[in-house]
Structure 1
Amino acid sequence: MKKSILVIAILFSGFCGFAQNDQSGIRGSFNLSNLYVDDVNDENTKPGFSAGVYFRKSISEALSIQPEINYSLKGSQITYNGLFGNGNYRFNLSYIEIPVLANIHLGESLYISAGPYVAALIAAKVKDIDGDGSVNSVRELDRDDFNTFDYGVAAGLGFDFTGGTAGVRYNYGLNEVAPDVQSLDNGKNSVLQFFIGFAF
Protein backbone atom coordinates (compact mmCIF):
# COMPACT_ATOMS: atom_id res chain seq x y z
CA MET A 1 0.00 0.00 0.00
CA LYS A 2 2.85 2.40 0.86
CA LYS A 3 4.44 1.74 -2.53
CA SER A 4 1.11 2.41 -4.28
CA ILE A 5 0.68 5.72 -2.45
CA LEU A 6 4.27 6.73 -3.30
CA VAL A 7 3.74 5.98 -7.00
CA ILE A 8 0.49 7.97 -7.01
CA ALA A 9 2.17 10.92 -5.26
CA ILE A 10 5.00 10.97 -7.82
CA LEU A 11 2.59 10.78 -10.74
CA PHE A 12 0.44 13.51 -9.20
CA SER A 13 3.43 15.85 -8.94
CA GLY A 14 4.42 15.09 -12.51
CA PHE A 15 0.91 15.63 -13.84
CA CYS A 16 0.56 18.98 -12.07
CA GLY A 17 3.74 20.21 -13.73
CA PHE A 18 2.70 18.65 -17.02
CA ALA A 19 -0.56 20.59 -17.06
CA GLN A 20 0.63 24.07 -16.04
CA ASN A 21 0.06 25.60 -19.48
CA ASP A 22 -2.80 23.39 -20.67
CA GLN A 23 -6.46 22.71 -19.95
CA SER A 24 -7.30 21.28 -16.55
CA GLY A 25 -10.52 20.85 -14.61
CA ILE A 26 -12.66 18.86 -12.22
CA ARG A 27 -14.69 15.85 -13.27
CA GLY A 28 -17.28 13.50 -11.86
CA SER A 29 -19.07 10.39 -13.07
CA PHE A 30 -21.93 8.07 -12.30
CA ASN A 31 -20.53 4.53 -12.15
CA LEU A 32 -22.24 1.22 -12.92
CA SER A 33 -19.77 -1.34 -11.61
CA ASN A 34 -19.53 -5.10 -11.47
CA LEU A 35 -16.97 -7.87 -11.04
CA TYR A 36 -16.52 -10.13 -14.04
CA VAL A 37 -15.22 -13.71 -14.04
CA ASP A 38 -14.52 -16.33 -16.72
CA ASP A 39 -17.80 -18.18 -16.08
CA VAL A 40 -20.51 -15.72 -15.10
CA ASN A 41 -23.69 -17.22 -13.69
CA ASP A 42 -25.10 -14.18 -11.92
CA GLU A 43 -23.90 -10.62 -12.39
CA ASN A 44 -25.20 -7.78 -10.25
CA THR A 45 -24.43 -4.21 -11.20
CA LYS A 46 -23.86 -1.70 -8.39
CA PRO A 47 -24.23 2.09 -8.66
CA GLY A 48 -21.34 4.29 -7.55
CA PHE A 49 -19.49 7.44 -8.50
CA SER A 50 -16.07 8.95 -9.11
CA ALA A 51 -14.70 12.46 -8.61
CA GLY A 52 -11.36 14.03 -9.36
CA VAL A 53 -9.30 16.26 -11.61
CA TYR A 54 -8.12 15.97 -15.21
CA PHE A 55 -5.30 17.53 -17.21
CA ARG A 56 -5.22 17.72 -21.01
CA LYS A 57 -2.10 18.34 -23.10
CA SER A 58 -2.49 18.95 -26.84
CA ILE A 59 0.07 17.07 -28.92
CA SER A 60 -1.43 18.10 -32.26
CA GLU A 61 -4.73 19.32 -33.61
CA ALA A 62 -6.06 15.75 -33.65
CA LEU A 63 -4.32 14.25 -30.58
CA SER A 64 -4.13 15.06 -26.88
CA ILE A 65 -2.94 13.23 -23.76
CA GLN A 66 -5.20 13.30 -20.69
CA PRO A 67 -4.05 12.00 -17.30
CA GLU A 68 -6.52 12.10 -14.41
CA ILE A 69 -6.52 11.53 -10.65
CA ASN A 70 -9.85 10.24 -9.33
CA TYR A 71 -11.50 8.81 -6.26
CA SER A 72 -13.65 5.99 -7.64
CA LEU A 73 -16.25 3.82 -5.90
CA LYS A 74 -16.49 0.39 -7.52
CA GLY A 75 -17.63 -3.10 -6.50
CA SER A 76 -20.58 -5.40 -6.98
CA GLN A 77 -23.67 -6.64 -5.22
CA ILE A 78 -24.91 -10.15 -4.52
CA THR A 79 -28.61 -10.93 -4.15
CA TYR A 80 -29.61 -13.29 -1.34
CA ASN A 81 -32.86 -15.07 -0.47
CA GLY A 82 -33.00 -15.90 3.22
CA LEU A 83 -35.43 -17.36 5.71
CA PHE A 84 -36.23 -13.89 7.06
CA GLY A 85 -36.31 -12.00 3.77
CA ASN A 86 -34.49 -11.00 0.61
CA GLY A 87 -31.82 -8.40 0.01
CA ASN A 88 -28.39 -7.56 -1.34
CA TYR A 89 -24.85 -7.63 -0.07
CA ARG A 90 -23.29 -4.54 -1.67
CA PHE A 91 -19.49 -4.61 -1.84
CA ASN A 92 -18.14 -1.04 -1.91
CA LEU A 93 -14.51 -0.81 -3.04
CA SER A 94 -12.90 2.64 -2.86
CA TYR A 95 -9.91 3.38 -5.09
CA ILE A 96 -7.57 6.23 -5.89
CA GLU A 97 -7.26 5.79 -9.65
CA ILE A 98 -4.99 7.29 -12.30
CA PRO A 99 -5.90 6.77 -15.97
CA VAL A 100 -3.66 8.14 -18.73
CA LEU A 101 -5.69 8.48 -21.92
CA ALA A 102 -4.92 9.37 -25.51
CA ASN A 103 -7.71 11.43 -27.07
CA ILE A 104 -8.24 11.35 -30.82
CA HIS A 105 -10.26 14.42 -31.80
CA LEU A 106 -12.71 13.88 -34.64
CA GLY A 107 -13.59 17.53 -35.14
CA GLU A 108 -14.11 20.54 -32.94
CA SER A 109 -15.94 18.70 -30.17
CA LEU A 110 -16.17 14.90 -30.61
CA TYR A 111 -13.31 12.64 -29.48
CA ILE A 112 -12.54 9.02 -28.66
CA SER A 113 -10.17 8.06 -25.88
CA ALA A 114 -8.24 5.00 -24.75
CA GLY A 115 -5.39 4.15 -22.41
CA PRO A 116 -4.25 2.33 -19.27
CA TYR A 117 -5.08 3.00 -15.64
CA VAL A 118 -3.56 2.10 -12.28
CA ALA A 119 -5.37 2.24 -8.95
CA ALA A 120 -4.81 1.73 -5.22
CA LEU A 121 -7.51 0.26 -2.97
CA ILE A 122 -8.02 2.48 0.08
CA ALA A 123 -11.12 0.90 1.66
CA ALA A 124 -13.41 -2.11 1.31
CA LYS A 125 -16.84 -2.41 2.93
CA VAL A 126 -19.90 -4.61 2.58
CA LYS A 127 -23.40 -3.23 3.13
CA ASP A 128 -26.38 -5.48 3.88
CA ILE A 129 -29.52 -3.98 2.30
CA ASP A 130 -33.06 -5.34 2.69
CA GLY A 131 -35.34 -5.87 -0.27
CA ASP A 132 -37.20 -2.70 0.76
CA GLY A 133 -33.97 -0.65 0.65
CA SER A 134 -33.30 -0.51 4.40
CA VAL A 135 -29.66 -0.83 5.48
CA ASN A 136 -29.19 -3.63 8.01
CA SER A 137 -25.46 -3.22 8.57
CA VAL A 138 -22.21 -1.84 7.17
CA ARG A 139 -19.04 -3.82 7.84
CA GLU A 140 -15.40 -2.94 7.12
CA LEU A 141 -13.57 -5.73 5.30
CA ASP A 142 -9.95 -6.76 5.84
CA ARG A 143 -7.85 -5.13 3.11
CA ASP A 144 -5.33 -7.99 3.45
CA ASP A 145 -7.91 -10.19 1.67
CA PHE A 146 -7.80 -7.91 -1.38
CA ASN A 147 -5.25 -6.92 -3.99
CA THR A 148 -4.56 -3.32 -3.00
CA PHE A 149 -3.11 -2.57 -6.46
CA ASP A 150 -5.32 -2.66 -9.56
CA TYR A 151 -4.65 -1.95 -13.22
CA GLY A 152 -6.48 -2.17 -16.50
CA VAL A 153 -7.52 -0.33 -19.64
CA ALA A 154 -10.13 2.33 -20.33
CA ALA A 155 -11.85 3.50 -23.51
CA GLY A 156 -14.65 5.91 -24.23
CA LEU A 157 -16.36 8.54 -26.30
CA GLY A 158 -16.74 12.19 -25.35
CA PHE A 159 -17.53 15.64 -26.58
CA ASP A 160 -16.31 19.07 -25.55
CA PHE A 161 -18.61 21.97 -24.89
CA THR A 162 -17.87 25.53 -23.87
CA GLY A 163 -16.20 25.26 -20.47
CA GLY A 164 -16.15 21.49 -20.15
CA THR A 165 -16.46 17.96 -21.46
CA ALA A 166 -18.85 14.99 -21.09
CA GLY A 167 -19.21 11.42 -22.32
CA VAL A 168 -19.17 7.72 -21.54
CA ARG A 169 -16.23 5.46 -20.66
CA TYR A 170 -15.66 1.79 -19.86
CA ASN A 171 -12.92 0.58 -17.48
CA TYR A 172 -11.80 -3.03 -17.86
CA GLY A 173 -9.74 -4.41 -14.94
CA LEU A 174 -6.94 -6.90 -15.52
CA ASN A 175 -6.14 -7.85 -11.92
CA GLU A 176 -8.16 -10.07 -9.57
CA VAL A 177 -9.80 -7.92 -6.92
CA ALA A 178 -10.08 -10.36 -4.02
CA PRO A 179 -8.47 -13.80 -4.48
CA ASP A 180 -9.15 -14.64 -0.79
CA VAL A 181 -12.83 -13.62 -0.72
CA GLN A 182 -14.83 -16.62 -1.95
CA SER A 183 -18.10 -14.73 -2.50
CA LEU A 184 -16.38 -12.43 -5.03
CA ASP A 185 -15.26 -15.38 -7.20
CA ASN A 186 -11.84 -13.88 -8.05
CA GLY A 187 -13.62 -11.22 -10.09
CA LYS A 188 -12.03 -8.25 -11.83
CA ASN A 189 -13.32 -4.69 -11.92
CA SER A 190 -15.72 -3.71 -14.68
CA VAL A 191 -17.06 -0.14 -14.64
CA LEU A 192 -19.25 1.83 -17.04
CA GLN A 193 -18.98 5.59 -16.40
CA PHE A 194 -21.12 8.52 -17.50
CA PHE A 195 -18.92 11.54 -16.84
CA ILE A 196 -18.89 15.31 -16.98
CA GLY A 197 -16.02 17.71 -16.41
CA PHE A 198 -15.67 21.47 -16.05
CA ALA A 199 -12.48 23.32 -16.99
CA PHE A 200 -10.81 25.66 -14.48
Structure 2
Amino acid sequence: MKKIFLLIAVVLGLVATKVNAQQQPIRFGIRAGANLAEWQGETVNSVQDLMEFTNGSVSRQMREGFHVGGYLTIPVAPGFEIEPGLQYSQKGMKLTGKIPMEGVEFLNAGVTLTNKADYIDVPVLAKVYIGEGFNIFGGPQVSYLLSNKIQAEAGAFGINALNREWDMKSGFRELDVAISGGVGYRFVNGFNISAGYDYGLTSVDANNNFDTFNRVIKASVGYTF
Protein backbone atom coordinates (compact mmCIF):
# COMPACT_ATOMS: atom_id res chain seq x y z
CA MET A 1 0.00 0.00 0.00
CA LYS A 2 2.87 2.39 0.81
CA LYS A 3 4.32 1.67 -2.64
CA ILE A 4 1.01 2.71 -4.25
CA PHE A 5 0.93 6.04 -2.40
CA LEU A 6 4.61 6.60 -3.24
CA LEU A 7 3.95 5.90 -6.93
CA ILE A 8 1.05 8.37 -6.96
CA ALA A 9 3.21 11.02 -5.28
CA VAL A 10 6.05 10.50 -7.80
CA VAL A 11 3.65 10.72 -10.77
CA LEU A 12 2.09 13.94 -9.46
CA GLY A 13 5.55 15.38 -8.78
CA LEU A 14 6.72 14.66 -12.33
CA VAL A 15 3.51 16.09 -13.76
CA ALA A 16 3.81 19.27 -11.68
CA THR A 17 7.39 19.73 -12.88
CA LYS A 18 6.25 19.29 -16.49
CA VAL A 19 3.38 21.74 -16.04
CA ASN A 20 5.62 24.39 -14.48
CA ALA A 21 8.02 24.02 -17.37
CA GLN A 22 5.22 24.57 -19.88
CA GLN A 23 3.47 27.26 -17.76
CA GLN A 24 0.09 25.63 -18.31
CA PRO A 25 -2.76 26.51 -15.91
CA ILE A 26 -4.05 23.94 -13.44
CA ARG A 27 -7.84 24.05 -13.22
CA PHE A 28 -10.20 22.96 -10.45
CA GLY A 29 -13.50 21.16 -10.97
CA ILE A 30 -16.44 19.66 -9.11
CA ARG A 31 -18.31 16.46 -9.96
CA ALA A 32 -21.37 14.53 -8.74
CA GLY A 33 -23.43 11.63 -9.98
CA ALA A 34 -25.11 8.28 -9.46
CA ASN A 35 -23.59 4.93 -8.42
CA LEU A 36 -24.72 1.39 -9.08
CA ALA A 37 -22.59 -0.80 -6.83
CA GLU A 38 -22.23 -4.54 -6.25
CA TRP A 39 -19.79 -7.21 -5.09
CA GLN A 40 -18.12 -9.88 -7.17
CA GLY A 41 -16.26 -12.93 -5.88
CA GLU A 42 -16.78 -15.78 -3.45
CA THR A 43 -19.64 -14.14 -1.54
CA VAL A 44 -21.55 -13.59 -4.78
CA ASN A 45 -20.98 -17.21 -5.80
CA SER A 46 -22.52 -18.29 -2.49
CA VAL A 47 -25.50 -16.06 -3.20
CA GLN A 48 -25.91 -17.67 -6.62
CA ASP A 49 -25.98 -21.10 -4.94
CA LEU A 50 -28.61 -19.81 -2.49
CA MET A 51 -30.72 -18.51 -5.38
CA GLU A 52 -30.69 -21.94 -7.00
CA PHE A 53 -31.47 -23.68 -3.68
CA THR A 54 -34.48 -21.41 -3.07
CA ASN A 55 -35.71 -21.61 -6.69
CA GLY A 56 -34.99 -17.96 -7.27
CA SER A 57 -36.82 -16.54 -4.24
CA VAL A 58 -33.58 -14.74 -3.31
CA SER A 59 -32.13 -12.22 -5.75
CA ARG A 60 -29.02 -10.05 -5.86
CA GLN A 61 -29.30 -6.39 -6.80
CA MET A 62 -27.01 -3.40 -7.17
CA ARG A 63 -27.04 -0.79 -4.43
CA GLU A 64 -28.13 2.62 -5.66
CA GLY A 65 -26.02 5.50 -4.34
CA PHE A 66 -24.15 8.63 -5.33
CA HIS A 67 -20.72 10.22 -5.42
CA VAL A 68 -19.65 13.86 -5.04
CA GLY A 69 -16.29 15.61 -4.89
CA GLY A 70 -13.66 17.68 -6.64
CA TYR A 71 -10.68 17.26 -8.93
CA LEU A 72 -7.71 19.03 -10.48
CA THR A 73 -7.10 19.12 -14.22
CA ILE A 74 -3.34 19.17 -14.86
CA PRO A 75 -2.35 19.59 -18.53
CA VAL A 76 0.77 17.64 -19.52
CA ALA A 77 0.73 17.82 -23.32
CA PRO A 78 -1.79 18.79 -26.02
CA GLY A 79 -4.76 16.45 -25.63
CA PHE A 80 -3.37 14.80 -22.50
CA GLU A 81 -4.13 15.59 -18.84
CA ILE A 82 -3.65 14.09 -15.39
CA GLU A 83 -6.68 14.37 -13.12
CA PRO A 84 -6.26 13.64 -9.38
CA GLY A 85 -9.48 13.79 -7.40
CA LEU A 86 -11.11 13.43 -4.00
CA GLN A 87 -14.72 12.30 -3.61
CA TYR A 88 -17.26 10.68 -1.31
CA SER A 89 -18.74 7.51 -2.83
CA GLN A 90 -21.45 5.04 -1.75
CA LYS A 91 -20.82 1.35 -2.52
CA GLY A 92 -21.99 -2.08 -1.37
CA MET A 93 -24.67 -4.52 -2.54
CA LYS A 94 -28.26 -5.63 -1.90
CA LEU A 95 -30.09 -8.94 -1.42
CA THR A 96 -33.86 -9.30 -1.62
CA GLY A 97 -35.96 -12.36 -0.89
CA LYS A 98 -39.54 -13.54 -0.57
CA ILE A 99 -40.65 -15.12 2.71
CA PRO A 100 -41.93 -18.66 1.89
CA MET A 101 -45.45 -18.83 3.35
CA GLU A 102 -47.73 -21.31 1.59
CA GLY A 103 -51.26 -20.14 0.98
CA VAL A 104 -50.54 -16.48 1.78
CA GLU A 105 -48.39 -15.53 -1.21
CA PHE A 106 -50.73 -12.58 -1.75
CA LEU A 107 -49.12 -10.90 1.29
CA ASN A 108 -45.99 -10.34 -0.83
CA ALA A 109 -43.90 -10.69 2.33
CA GLY A 110 -40.22 -9.99 1.72
CA VAL A 111 -36.84 -9.24 3.26
CA THR A 112 -34.12 -6.90 2.00
CA LEU A 113 -30.52 -6.87 3.25
CA THR A 114 -28.36 -3.94 2.11
CA ASN A 115 -24.63 -3.51 2.63
CA LYS A 116 -24.11 0.28 2.90
CA ALA A 117 -20.41 1.00 2.47
CA ASP A 118 -19.29 4.64 2.31
CA TYR A 119 -15.82 5.52 1.02
CA ILE A 120 -13.53 8.44 0.30
CA ASP A 121 -12.05 7.83 -3.17
CA VAL A 122 -8.71 9.24 -4.34
CA PRO A 123 -8.39 8.54 -8.08
CA VAL A 124 -5.42 9.62 -10.21
CA LEU A 125 -6.60 9.44 -13.80
CA ALA A 126 -4.81 9.89 -17.12
CA LYS A 127 -7.17 11.55 -19.61
CA VAL A 128 -6.68 11.52 -23.38
CA TYR A 129 -8.79 13.76 -25.60
CA ILE A 130 -9.98 12.52 -28.97
CA GLY A 131 -11.45 15.23 -31.12
CA GLU A 132 -13.04 18.39 -29.72
CA GLY A 133 -14.19 17.34 -26.25
CA PHE A 134 -14.54 13.56 -26.21
CA ASN A 135 -12.07 11.82 -23.90
CA ILE A 136 -11.16 8.45 -22.45
CA PHE A 137 -9.62 8.10 -19.00
CA GLY A 138 -8.17 5.53 -16.66
CA GLY A 139 -5.88 5.06 -13.70
CA PRO A 140 -5.47 3.81 -10.11
CA GLN A 141 -7.81 4.66 -7.27
CA VAL A 142 -7.26 4.28 -3.52
CA SER A 143 -10.34 4.37 -1.27
CA TYR A 144 -10.76 4.69 2.50
CA LEU A 145 -13.75 3.07 4.19
CA LEU A 146 -15.61 5.67 6.27
CA SER A 147 -18.43 3.41 7.45
CA ASN A 148 -19.94 0.04 6.68
CA LYS A 149 -23.44 -0.89 7.82
CA ILE A 150 -25.95 -3.65 7.20
CA GLN A 151 -29.61 -2.64 6.90
CA ALA A 152 -32.36 -5.25 7.29
CA GLU A 153 -35.90 -4.51 6.15
CA ALA A 154 -38.92 -6.83 6.21
CA GLY A 155 -42.61 -6.34 5.61
CA ALA A 156 -45.73 -7.11 3.61
CA PHE A 157 -48.20 -5.15 1.47
CA GLY A 158 -45.43 -2.58 1.00
CA ILE A 159 -45.40 -1.78 4.76
CA ASN A 160 -42.13 -2.23 6.68
CA ALA A 161 -42.48 -4.32 9.85
CA LEU A 162 -38.71 -4.32 10.45
CA ASN A 163 -36.11 -1.68 9.67
CA ARG A 164 -32.88 -2.23 11.58
CA GLU A 165 -29.31 -1.14 10.89
CA TRP A 166 -26.04 -2.17 12.55
CA ASP A 167 -22.35 -1.42 12.11
CA MET A 168 -20.07 -3.92 10.35
CA LYS A 169 -16.93 -1.84 9.73
CA SER A 170 -14.66 -3.93 11.99
CA GLY A 171 -14.76 -6.92 9.61
CA PHE A 172 -14.01 -4.97 6.44
CA ARG A 173 -10.77 -3.69 4.95
CA GLU A 174 -10.26 0.05 5.45
CA LEU A 175 -8.19 0.63 2.29
CA ASP A 176 -9.45 -0.49 -1.10
CA VAL A 177 -7.42 -0.34 -4.32
CA ALA A 178 -9.13 -0.24 -7.71
CA ILE A 179 -8.65 0.57 -11.37
CA SER A 180 -11.03 3.25 -12.60
CA GLY A 181 -11.79 4.07 -16.22
CA GLY A 182 -14.40 5.39 -18.59
CA VAL A 183 -15.35 7.92 -21.24
CA GLY A 184 -16.50 11.51 -21.09
CA TYR A 185 -17.15 14.75 -22.92
CA ARG A 186 -16.16 18.28 -21.88
CA PHE A 187 -17.93 21.25 -23.43
CA VAL A 188 -16.16 24.54 -24.18
CA ASN A 189 -17.83 26.26 -21.21
CA GLY A 190 -16.34 23.69 -18.77
CA PHE A 191 -19.47 21.60 -18.23
CA ASN A 192 -18.70 17.88 -18.60
CA ILE A 193 -20.39 14.49 -18.48
CA SER A 194 -18.83 11.05 -18.00
CA ALA A 195 -19.54 7.37 -17.47
CA GLY A 196 -17.08 5.15 -15.64
CA TYR A 197 -16.42 1.84 -13.93
CA ASP A 198 -14.43 1.03 -10.78
CA TYR A 199 -12.87 -2.44 -10.72
CA GLY A 200 -11.77 -3.35 -7.18
CA LEU A 201 -8.48 -5.22 -6.82
CA THR A 202 -8.42 -5.87 -3.04
CA SER A 203 -10.92 -8.01 -1.13
CA VAL A 204 -13.33 -6.13 1.12
CA ASP A 205 -12.81 -8.76 3.86
CA ALA A 206 -10.18 -7.62 6.38
CA ASN A 207 -9.49 -11.16 7.57
CA ASN A 208 -9.01 -12.70 4.11
CA ASN A 209 -11.65 -15.34 4.81
CA PHE A 210 -13.25 -14.73 1.42
CA ASP A 211 -12.33 -12.90 -1.79
CA THR A 212 -15.03 -10.38 -2.63
CA PHE A 213 -14.41 -7.16 -4.55
CA ASN A 214 -16.16 -3.84 -5.10
CA ARG A 215 -17.56 -3.07 -8.54
CA VAL A 216 -19.16 0.31 -9.27
CA ILE A 217 -20.82 1.81 -12.36
CA LYS A 218 -20.81 5.62 -12.27
CA ALA A 219 -22.55 8.36 -14.27
CA SER A 220 -21.39 11.91 -13.54
CA VAL A 221 -21.88 15.55 -14.36
CA GLY A 222 -19.28 18.15 -13.53
CA TYR A 223 -17.89 21.60 -14.13
CA THR A 224 -14.27 22.67 -14.66
CA PHE A 225 -13.61 26.27 -13.60
**1:116 and 1:27, CA in 2 relative to 1: closer, same or farther beyond 3 A?**
same
In 2, the alpha carbon distance for the partners of 1:52 and 1:175 equals 23
**What SS does structure 2 have at the residue aligned with 1:151?**
strand
Cα shift at 1:157 = 0.3
Matched, 1:174 2:178: no
Deviation at 1:83, TM superposition (A): 5.4
Larger proportion of helix = 2
Report the counterpart of residue 95 of structure 2 in structure 1: 78
C-alpha contact 1:128 1:135 (8 A) present in aligned 2:
no
Bigger Rg over Cα: 2
2:190 to 163, 171, 196: 163
What is the distance in 2 between the residues matched to 1:68 and 1:45? 25
| Correspondence for 1:30 | 34
Q: Which string of whole-angstrom CA distances, capped at 9 and with x for unpartnered residues, describes residues 85-123 of structure 1? A: 213111110001101000010012000001010011010
Residue identity in the other structure for 2:117: L
Once residues 133 and 197 of structure 1 are traced to their aligned partners in structure 2, the CA distance between those partners, rounded to angstroms, is 38
**Are 1:62 and 1:105, in contact at CA under 8 Å, matched by a contact in 2?**
yes
Q: 2:65 aligns with which of 40, 48, 59?
A: 48
How many Å apart are 1:44 and its aligned residue? 1.9
Q: Distance in 2 between matches of 1:75 and 1:154?
A: 17
| 1:125 Cα deviation from its structure 2 partner | 1.2
Equivalent runs, 1:21-170 vs 2, <5 Å: 21-37=25-41, 40=45, 41=48, 43-82=60-99, 85-130=109-154, 132=158, 134=160, 136-161=162-187, 162-170=189-197
Q: What is the identity, as a one-letter code, of the residue corresponding to 1:65?
A: I
Give the match's secondary structure for 1:144.
helix
Q: List per-residue Cα deviations over 1:30-71 (Å, max 9, x = no partner).
A: 000000015632642110100000111111112100011000
1:145–1:181 CA contact under 8 A, matched in 2? no
Taking a change above 3 Å as real, the CA distance of residues 147 and 28 of structure 1, as seen in their structure-2 partners, is: same
- Contact 1:123–1:143 (8 Å) recurs in 2: yes
Q: Counterparts of 1:199 and 1:111 in 2: how far apart (Å)?
A: 14
Pair 1:135–1:36, CA change in 2 (3 A): farther
Task: Tell me, yes or no, if the aligned pair for 2:60 and 2:96 is still in contact at 8 Å.
Answer: no
In the superposition, the TM-score normalised over structure 1's length comes to 0.82
- Distance in 1 between the 2:86 and 2:161 partners? 31
Letter in 2 for 1:108: E
Gapped runs of 5+ residues in structure 1? none
Stretch moving more, 146-155 or 84-93: 84-93
Change in Cα spacing, 1:133 to 1:95, as seen in structure 2 (3 Å) is: farther
**What residue identity is the alignment partner of 1:165?**
N
SS in 2 for 1:177: coil
Which has a greater percent of strand?
A: 1
TM-score (structure 2 length as normaliser): 0.73
The ranges of structure 1 where at least 4 consecutive aligned residues each deviate by more than 4 angstroms after the TM superposition are 179-182
